[in-house]
Structure 1
Amino acid sequence: MNELMELGQPVLTGRVVQLEPLTFESTAELAEAANHAAIWTYLDEPTPSTSEAVSALVTEAVEEQDQGVRIPYIIRDRKTGAAVGSISFIDIQPRHRGVEIGWAWVTPEHWSTGAAREASYLLMRHAFETAGAIRVVFKTDSRNLRSQRAIEHLGATKEGVFRNHRILRDGHVRHSIFYSVTAEEWPEVRRTLDLWREELPVE
């Protein structure tokens, strides 16, 4: 019998970011980071411009964690110590040892710093090398070209498009593009990402 995938929620430290478990205490830190409309264009949520709105998002994440369907993290800039975004394990399938990385965002000023890519790398490394995953998935809105490029730069393989996948709050019918990395692909994906990470500043 296959062993179950066990993700846990350890602190994960990289060269430019550190991932820490998202808790209710994270609300105040995330309130400023999240207040950028550009972040939320394709996330199907209104821009959380108030602490109450951010609190609602954090509450939802924690409740989903209690239900066993999400493991949310706060992304912290190692240089400044500031909270700059969030990322989560979602669609967790322990028996099939598969998981999706989603609900990922960082502040616009960190879009070109390597923060988001390293955050995804840290979750992939943990999933494959510690938790025993055999498949890690990413998906994005078909309109979100920046996100598609970012996922492709992670070394993920495009699997296809789920047409009419979701109806968003504004009524738009979203097509979702799915990508994945498998356990067999991970060693080469990691080698490529490790070479990229060597060029990042050490904090």
Structure 2
Amino acid sequence: MRVEPVRLTGQRIALEPLTEAHLPDLAKLAHRDEIWTYLDEETPDMAALIAEALEEQAQGVRLPFAITDRDTGQAIGTMSYIDIQPTHRGIELGWAWISPDHWSKGVAREAAYLLMRHAFDTLGAIRVAFKTDSRNTRSQRTIEALGATREGVFRNHRILRDGHRRHSIYYSVITEEWPTIRAGLETKLDATGRHQ
């Protein structure tokens, strides 16, 4: 399972390998505090965040993407492959954040669909995982709407910068489920695309 930079194109968005060229667009969005509530980041230095993502990419532990609006070409968020396990053909989708201006518009669904499709159909993954803070009900609804199965809760999984003990909820989609989930997501994306 060779996880390498690739451009993935959807109906309304494209996922592009994250580079410093995305900094101006992403920096304009970073001041929105509601983005970072559950990501254990203060409103970040976007240049440092991109540099960290690219360093982790160089180490082979992450493949970060910029989510871009196909109509404007502007970057509106990011999503990454993380916890890449070539031997076990597993991968996680994480470090996902989107400008609040694009919340509830199907952007997260389409980005996750594109990354799952690439993982299962091209990379040969047998498992795609997700995790989220137990308090982040918005994220949980989004992941569940993808068709992912809730596997359980890692209690006291992490201590956040404010001292909060985070419980992480884990979800997954496995290769046996993917054909049905893919068909359902494509139906939803087609319906959404027709109403734009």
- TM-score class, shorter-chain normalisation, is over 0.9
Determine helix, strand or coil for the equivalent of 1:30: helix
Determine helix, strand or coil for the equivalent of 1:163: strand
Give me the whole-angstrom Cα distance separating, in 1, the residues matched to 2:29 and 2:70: 15
Shift of 1:201: 2.7
Q: Does structure 2 retain, via aligned residues, the 8 Å contact 1:141–1:176?
A: yes
Q: Match of 1:47, as an amino acid?
A: T
Aligned residue number for residue 122 of structure 1: 114
- Runs of 4+ deviating beyond 6 Å: none
Shift of 1:200: 2.6
Aligned residue number for residue 13 of structure 1: 9
The answer on 1:29 being equivalent to 2:21 is no
Determine helix, strand or coil for the equivalent of 1:26: helix
Alignment of 1:29-48 (within 5 A): 29-48=25-44
Alignment of 1:31-110 (within 5 A): 31-48=27-44, 53-110=45-102
Shift of 1:47: 1.1
Aligned residue number for residue 134 of structure 1: 126
The answer on 1:180 being equivalent to 2:169 is no
Q: Match of 2:64, as an amino acid?
A: P
Q: Does structure 2 retain, via aligned residues, the 8 Å contact 1:72–1:87?
A: yes
Q: Does structure 2 retain, via aligned residues, the 8 Å contact 1:30–1:84?
A: yes
Q: Match of 1:35, as an amino acid?
A: H
Deviations for 1:143-186, whole angstroms, at most 9, x for unmatched residues? 00010000000000000000000000111000000000000000
Aligned residue number for residue 157 of structure 2: 165
Give me the whole-angstrom Cα distance separating, in 1, the residues matched to 2:193 and 2:187: 13
Determine helix, strand or coil for the equivalent of 1:198: helix
Give me the whole-angstrom Cα distance separating, in 2, the residues matched to 1:162 and 1:12: 32
Shift of 1:25: 2.0
Give me the whole-angstrom Cα distance separating, in 2, the residues matched to 1:161 and 1:196: 28
Q: Of the two structures, which has the highest relative contact order with CA contacts closer than 8 Å and spacing of 6 or more?
A: 1
Give me the whole-angstrom Cα distance separating, in 1, the residues matched to 2:23 and 2:71: 21
- How many residues align? The count is 195
Q: Match of 2:88, as an amino acid?
A: H
Give me the whole-angstrom Cα distance separating, in 2, the residues matched to 1:57 and 1:121: 24
Determine helix, strand or coil for the equivalent of 1:92: strand
The answer on 1:155 being equivalent to 2:147 is yes
Q: Does structure 2 retain, via aligned residues, the 8 Å contact 1:117–1:150?
A: yes
The normalised TM-score by structure 1 is 0.94
Determine helix, strand or coil for the equivalent of 1:35: coil
Shift of 1:33: 2.1
Q: Does structure 2 retain, via aligned residues, the 8 Å contact 1:34–1:85?
A: no
Q: Match of 1:102, as an amino acid?
A: G
Determine helix, strand or coil for the equivalent of 2:135: coil
Q: Match of 1:164, as an amino acid?
A: N
